[in-house]
Chains A and B, each alone.
Chain A
Amino acid sequence: MRTSAGLSRTVLAPVLLGLVALALWQLLVVVFEIKPFIVPGPLAIGSEFGANFATVLQGAVVTGGNALVGLVIGGIAGILFAILAALVRVLDELSAAVVAALAVVPIVALAPVLYTMFGAGAETARQLVAAIAVFIPVYINTLRGLRQVRPVHRDLMHVYAASAWQTTRTVTVPGALPFIFTGLRIASSLAVISALIAEYFGGPVGGLGKSITSAASSSNYNLAWAYVLGAILVGLVFYCVTLAIEKFATRHYQPAT
């Protein structure tokens, strides 16, 4: 009973709030006769989304695919580099400045440069932009997690005369898992945003980003908004899937003694 009550509160309440907000939005658009190029009503966007579902889905697959490739490459690279930095202190000190610099760079700004490097006909540049965007939060969070080894576990591994690699494999990395997943969760939305924005700077057509710009430039505002809705949904799917994996992988991580 308690779980169903909790479920209705965690799921129903935000859904209700969302519906109320949408109704209010529709009401404002109708009452004040707001023009579509300023903002169309949710009903108009919804019907446009329904009518063009196949093309929105196609765009979502392209953009989502780029984001996924970026998330996987950037995630793996971030985790591996963090493990290396945690094992080899010098590497950590050497790379700290580079990582800090990389964190400040607006990564999508690299897109035009990358398009010329890899050719404007390939998706590589977009995937790379997403990968770099993903790398930073995953690296920083993983490294923090790797440094959270509990003293009792460190003592235990010392007592077992375990090698550095054994300690990393059996204690440090599994212990850092909640932090790694926090990084991945932040990175998942970042991957979608980066892959999408990178499309604004060139490259092949077909993705959601390009579709938004082309629909907007041909004054098809309702369609542009339908693509935006598609982009929001892609981001949501990425976030929810990583959250679900996180919840599953760390289900036994309640503080044990």
Chain B
Amino acid sequence: MSEASVSSPEPQPAAPAAEVRDVEVPAVEVRGVDKIFTGKKKATVTALEEIELTVAPGEFVSLIGPSGCGKSTLLRLIADLDTPSTGTITVFGKTARQARIDQEYGIAFQQAGLLPWRTVTANIELPLELHGVGSAARKARSAELLALVGLSDFADNYPDQLSGGMQQRVAIARSLAESPRLLLMDEPFGALDEMTRERMQTELVRICAETGAAVVFVTHSIPEAVYLSNRVVVMSPRPGRIRDILTVSLGSASERGEQLRENEAFFENVSKVRELLHGEAPVGIRGVETR
């Protein structure tokens, strides 16, 4: 995976020396981060406490936990959509803010967030257009991405003519537009039905293998986290803390196919994550989602 990230095409031509150094520089480094929200009447809520997390280049890391455990907040901090109260966050060795300005990451939210007045192609080209990429280069890139997410036939359609799953695929294509080495995903499949969801997960594994990007993936589905990840970060709420980090050894992305869902090792890992989430021995039926 890390090899793939080195050879993956860069959006902007970087100095060769910097590229070599990037191998050691973690994709994301979160050091001693707290996040305290101050509400009305000066009431404070500690959303995150003492978060330590390192994501290697090309690594797929899931953040899982119950509602209110701060997993989305952590993602928003990495994306510089919010700033930590204490601690530091670096993305490829830069501050989160600089990384955002330099477009070091792509992002996808639970809502596809497509612009309804733009065609599928124009939606995917949006970040390229904003950053001054020429129209010929934009066309080529969007055609490439549409093929990657399997929507080439829908290039000139508008979002309202697509299903929810297709809209989400467009959003993922858009997040990949500038060939980022890091993808931030906040429950991108949360609003989809189970069947679409599993198909999207398989596609995401394939896309990650092809692009070699590191991914920070927020979810509250245990099988989803296990199926996709190299590591699963289990979080607990009030205050949001990292309870444990589980390394999932189910092989590289290219080896993860549909049959993995029936695999014994898969169920074992699902049980482990559930155990960590609930802090007790697993009971009940294996492989059933607890959402």
- Residues of A at the B interface (CB closer than 8 Å) are 150, 152-153, 155-156, 158-162, 166, 170-171, 174-175, 177, 252-254, 256-257
Contact = CB atoms under 8 A, between A and B. Distances in A.
B126 A170 contact: yes
A113 B160 CA distance: 51
A134 B191 CA distance: 42
A79 B30 CA distance: 45
Contact of A257 (B81, B100, B191): B191
24 contacts: A152-B109, A152-B111, A153-B113, A155-B81, A156-B113, A158-B81, A159-B79, A159-B81, A159-B100, A160-B131, A161-B103, A170-B126, A170-B129, A170-B130, A175-B115, A175-B117, A252-B160, A253-B117, A253-B160, A256-B112, A256-B114, A256-B160, A257-B113, A257-B167
A60 B109 CA distance: 53
A166 B160 contact: no
Contact of A152 (B101, B113, B116, B117): B113
Interface residues of B, number: 27
Interface string B53-86: 0000000000000000000000000011100000
Given A159-B107, A166-B130, A252 B116 contact: yes
B239 interface: no
B165 to A, nearest CB: 10
Interface of B: 79-81, 100-101, 103, 107, 109, 111-117, 126-127, 129-131, 158-160, 164, 167-168, 191
Contacts of B130: 160, 162, 166, 170
B116 A256 contact: yes
A155 B101 CA distance: 13
B100 A170 contact: no
B252 to A, nearest CB: 29
B167 A256 contact: yes
Chain A: interface secondary structure?
helix
B112 A257 contact: yes
B81 A174 contact: no
B72 to A, nearest CB: 11
Contact of B159 (A162, A171, A177, A256): A256
A190 to B, nearest CB: 27
A203 B158 CA distance: 50
Contact of A254 (B79, B107, B160, B191): B160
Contacts of A160: 103, 126-127, 130-131
A175 B117 CA distance: 8
A-B CB proximity, top 5 nearest: A152-B113, A252-B158, A256-B159, A254-B160, A256-B116
B115 A171 contact: yes
Nearest to A156: B113
A253 B116 CA distance: 6
B12 to A, nearest CB: 14
